[in-house]
Structure 1
Amino acid sequence: MYKGIYEMGFENPSPIQEETIPLALENKNVIARAKNGTGKTASYSIPIIQKIDSTKNQIQALVLVPTRELAMQTSLVIKELGKHKKIESMVSTGGTSVKEDIYRLYQTVHVIVGTPGRILDLASKGVANLENCNMLILDEVDKLLSVDFKTIVARIIEIMPKTKQIMLFSATYPIEIKEFQEKYIQEANFINLMEELTLKGVTQYYAYLEEREKLHCLNTLFSKLDINQAIIFCNSAKRVELLAKKISQLGYSCFYIHSKMQQSDRNRIYHDFKNGETRCLVSTDLFTRGIDIMSVNVVINFDFPKNTETYLHRIGRSGRFGHLGLAINFITEDNKSDLFTIEDELNTKINPIPQDIDKNLYTV
C-alpha cells in the first residue's frame, strides 16, 4: 500500500488529503470542496485501497464520475496506488461495449470507476453486484447531480447497501448538492478548501478585442509566450474544429477534442496530447473536468465562458498540483458583464494583458 503511494511520488499530503484521508479511514461521510489539481483523487483513492479486502471477490467501492476521460484517469490512479495490494479496478462508461464490461465482471473486481448510466444498467441487471459495496464516491458531484444524472445517481444509491460511506467532491456547492446531502448524508463532515486554493498559482489576464481580432491575437501569443503545452477553449464543437484548422494554417501543430467525436478518437487524442505529441489542444468544456496534464502551463479562453463554474474548471487545467499557470481570456463587448460576474463570484482580479508577460509567472 505505502509502496504504491511512494512510487507515485507522494511525499507529503496536500491540504485536501490531510483533511480527508483520516475521516475516510474512520468510515465518516465527507463533503469536500477543493479546486481541481489539489490531489483530490488520491484523497479518496488512498482510503479505498487501505479499506478494501483484496482476498474477497466482491465490488467494495464505487466511484461515479461525469466523463469517460475522468473515469480512465481515476482508475489509473487507483491501479497504481493499489498494485502491491493486488486491488482490481475497472472502468465502466457509456460509449463502450457492454459485452466487455459483462465479461470483465465475471472476473475479480474490487473497485468500479464509471459514469452513472452504465453503472445503473449493470447494477439493475444484477451483472454488477453492489450488495457488498459500502463505499460510494461522487467526484465532480456538481455535474453528477445535474438534470442529466440526478435520478440515475439516486437509483444507484437505492440499489447499494443501506449503511454505506458516501464521499462527495466538488469545486462548487450548488443547491442540488445541499438537497442531496439533506436526503442521503445526514451526518456529513464538511471540508472547504476553496478559499485557500481557488486559482492559486494561476495568473489571469484578459485581452479586450473584437471577434475578428481573436486569431491575430492568438498568433501573437504563440510567438511571445513560453508554452509547454496549452489548452484553448471554445464554446462549441463547430468553433473548436474551425479554430484548430486556422491554427494549423498558421503553421502550428494542433489537436482538437469535443463531445461530438467518437469516444475512441477522444481517447486517442487525450493520450497523445498527454504524451506531449503536440503543444496545443483546442477543446470544448468536455476537457475541463479532472484532466491532469502536468505540463499544461497556459490556458486560453478563445471564447469566454458564460458562468463562474466553467471558468474555474477551465482555468484549473493550468497550475496543477502547485505548478504555476497562465490564463488568458479573450473578451469582446458581449463578455464584459460575464467577466465582472466571474471576478466578483471568485473574489479574484483579472487584469488587462501587459505588453510583455513575465515568464516567471507561469514557467518553473
Structure 2
Amino acid sequence: MATARTQIPASVIGITKQNGQTRPAGLRSGLQPEMVFSASQKESSIPHTSGGIRFGDDWKKALHLPQKDTRVRTSDVTATKGNEFEDYCLKRELLMGIFEMGWEKPSPIQEESIPIALSGRDILARAKNGTGKSGAYLIPLLERIDLKKDHIQAIVMVPTRELALQVSQICINMSRHMGGVKVMATTGGTNLKDDIMRLDETVHVVIATPGRLLDLMKKGVAKADKVHMMVMDEADKLLSQDFVVIIEEIIGFLDKNRQILLYSATFPITVQKFMSKHLKKPYEINLMDELTLKGITQYYAYVTERQKVHCLNTLFSRLQINQSIIFCNSTQRVELLAKKITQLGYSCFYIHAKMMQEYRNRVFHDFRNGLCRNLVCTDLFTRGIDIQAVNVVINFDFPKNAETYLHRIGRSGRFGHLGLAINLITSDDRFNLKAIEDQLVTDIKPIPGSIDKSLYVAEFHSINHEEEDEKEALFGAP
C-alpha cells in the first residue's frame, strides 16, 4: 500500500533554488516505496538456476552489470587476500545479485566476515565506515534463508529509519534472483497497522529500528522464536543508553541458539559488557589499524562565528562539489543555514530529527537520487548513510566528540574513494580540535589557498558520450 502524496511546505522540508526560483525539496519525486518487498516482484530477464540455466552455461553473460567504476580506490577496500565471492560456495542466484550490485570482489571486512558468519558463529567486527559492512552481513544472511519456511528467519537492527531503508534496498536488490525472499523494513514514525497486516503474510527478513520491533514482538505479531540470525549494524549506537534496554528485551524473544553479529566502527565499553553476556565465543574482527578513511583529506579553517557563512560561500565557489553534506549542531541552525544557502543562490535541502517522518523520507530519497547538490543536517545523518556522490563534508559547527566527528566525515570517501572534510573552527573549538586529532591519531591541516582537485574529485575514464551523460545525470555538471 503506497503512501499518499501530500503537499509539503518549503519551510518544513527543505529549500532548493534553481533558475532563480525557490522550490520545496522533493516535489519531483514520490516517497519511499512500500515497506514489504519481494525480490520476485522485480522483473528479471535472467532465468533461475532451476529454470533455464543449465550446468555448463556461462550464466555471467546474462547479467545486467552496472557501468564499471574506474575511480581510484584506497587500500581500505583493496588490501584483500585475493578471494572471490564464488570462493564462498554461495547460491548462484545470490551471486547474480551481488555482481549486479557492481560488487566485483569482496572487501577486507567481507573477506573476514562472510565465511565465519556462514559457519553460524557469533561475530564482533570493527571496520571503518564505508568499507562494505552491509555486504559483510547481508550476503551470509541471504545465503542462509530457506524459502520453504514461511517465518521470520533473520533480523537486522539499525539505529535510524534512513539506514533501515538503505539496508532494506540493498537486501532487496541482492536477492532479486533468489525466487521470493520477502524483506520488510519497519521503523517508528510509520503506520503500525500497516506493519501488522504485512506480518500477517510471509516475511523472511526484518530490518528495523529497536523501538518498533519490540512493539511488534510484544503484540505477538513479529514472532521471533525461530530467528536464527540477528545483526546489529552501528552496534555502538544500538548499545548506548538510548537503546540498550530495548535491545535486551528483544533478545529475550529470540531462540537461545540464535547467532548474533555486531558491526561498528567504534566499540565503547558497553559493547564489551553486552558481548560477554549474550555472545558465545565470538569471532573478533578488527580492521581498524587507523580510525579515519585513507581517502579523506581533512582541513580546518579558523574563522569567527560571523565569518562562517562567507567562508562557506567561498568554498562553494572554489570547490568542485559533486554533492556535499553540511553538519550543524542544532535543528534551529540547520534551518537557518539552509535558508541562507538558498539566498546565496545554491540548491539546498535540509533534514533533522524533528521533521515529520514522511518529509524526512522524501528529502533522503531525493538527495540520494541527485536532485540537489547540498544537504544541511544534524547528526541524524552520521550513521551508515551511503551516498556515493558525496565527495565533500563540511562541519559548519564542529562536533563535540571524536566519535561524532569520525562518523560525520565518513559520509564522504565511501568504499575507498576520495573525499574532503572541511571544519569551520572558532576560538571556542580550538582545544576540541586538538583533542579529536589526538584521539583519532589523525592530522587535520590548515586549509590552503587552493585545494588540489585530485584529492577529492574522482576521475572517470569514460568510453563514450553516453557514459558522460550518465555521469553528469548522477553527479551534476561540473
Relative to the length of structure 2, the TM-score reads 0.75
Deviates more, 1:334-343 or 1:236-245: 334-343
Q: Give the corresponding residue for 1:272.
A: 366
Distance 1:283 1:187 in 2: 40
Distance 1:293 1:325 in 2: 12
- After superposing on structure 2, the runs of 4+ consecutive aligned residues of structure 1 that deviate more than 3 Å are none
- Deviations 1:319-342 (CA, angstroms, capped at 9, x unpaired): 001110000000111111111111
Q: Does 1:310 align with 2:374?
A: no
Distance 1:63 1:19 in 2: 19
Offset, 1:200 = 1.5
Offset, 1:186 = 3.6
Offset, 1:196 = 5.0
Q: Give the corresponding residue for 1:211.
A: 305
1:171 to 245, 265, 288: 265
Distance 1:176 1:147 in 2: 9
Q: Give the corresponding residue for 2:100.
A: 7
Letter in 2 for 1:41: S
Q: Give the corresponding residue for 2:375.
A: 281
Distance 1:221 1:310 in 2: 23
Letter in 1 for 2:169: L
Distance 1:309 1:71, change over 3 A: same
Letter in 2 for 1:34: A
Letter in 1 for 2:408: R
1:19 to 102, 105, 112: 112
- Deviations 1:35-81 (CA, angstroms, capped at 9, x unpaired): 11111001000001000101210100000100000001111111111
Q: Does 1:161 align with 2:251?
A: no
Distance 1:158 1:234 in 2: 38
RMSD: 0.8
2:353 to 259, 279, 286: 259
SS of aligned partner of 1:243: helix
1:41 to 110, 123, 134: 134
- Equivalent pairs counted in the alignment come to 364
Segments of structure 1 that go 5 or more residues without pairing to the other structure are: none
Q: Give the corresponding residue for 2:173.
A: 80
SS of aligned partner of 1:195: coil
Letter in 1 for 2:393: V
SS of aligned partner of 2:176: helix
Task: State whether residues 293 and 416 of structure 2, in contact with CA within 8 Å, keep that contact through their aligned partners in structure 1.
Answer: no
Q: Give the corresponding residue for 1:145.
A: 239
Q: Give the corresponding residue for 1:294.
A: 388
Offset, 1:199 = 2.1
Distance 1:234 1:134 in 2: 40
2:417 to 323, 326, 339: 323
Distance 2:115 2:395 in 1: 38
Task: State whether residues 93 and 114 of structure 1, in contact with CA within 8 Å, keep that contact through their aligned partners in structure 2.
Answer: yes
Q: Does 1:66 align with 2:191?
A: no
1:88-167 to 2 correspondence within 5 Å?
88-167=182-261
Task: State whether residues 291 and 406 of structure 2, in contact with CA within 8 Å, keep that contact through their aligned partners in structure 1.
Answer: no
Distance 2:292 2:113 in 1: 18
Distance 2:175 2:286 in 1: 27
Distance 2:312 2:409 in 1: 17
Distance 2:429 2:302 in 1: 9
Deviates more, 1:79-88 or 1:249-258: 79-88
Task: State whether residues 159 and 209 of structure 2, in contact with CA within 8 Å, keep that contact through their aligned partners in structure 1.
Answer: yes
Distance 2:128 2:169 in 1: 20
Offset, 1:21 = 0.3
- Deviations 1:20-41 (CA, angstroms, capped at 9, x unpaired): 0010000011011111111100
Offset, 1:351 = 0.2
Distance 1:37 1:204 in 2: 17
Letter in 1 for 2:443: K
Distance 2:287 2:144 in 1: 25
Q: Give the corresponding residue for 2:82.
A: none
* Rg larger for: 2
Distance 1:281 1:257 in 2: 8
Q: Give the corresponding residue for 2:283.
A: 189
Segments of structure 2 that go 5 or more residues without pairing to the other structure are: 1-93, 459-478
- Deviations 1:167-209 (CA, angstroms, capped at 9, x unpaired): 0011111011011011111411111112256221000000011
Distance 1:332 1:193 in 2: 34
Relative to the length of structure 1, the TM-score reads 0.99
Q: Give the corresponding residue for 2:122.
A: 29
Q: Give the corresponding residue for 1:347.
A: 441
Task: State whether residues 199 and 312 of structure 1, in contact with CA within 8 Å, keep that contact through their aligned partners in structure 2.
Answer: no
Greater share of helix: 1
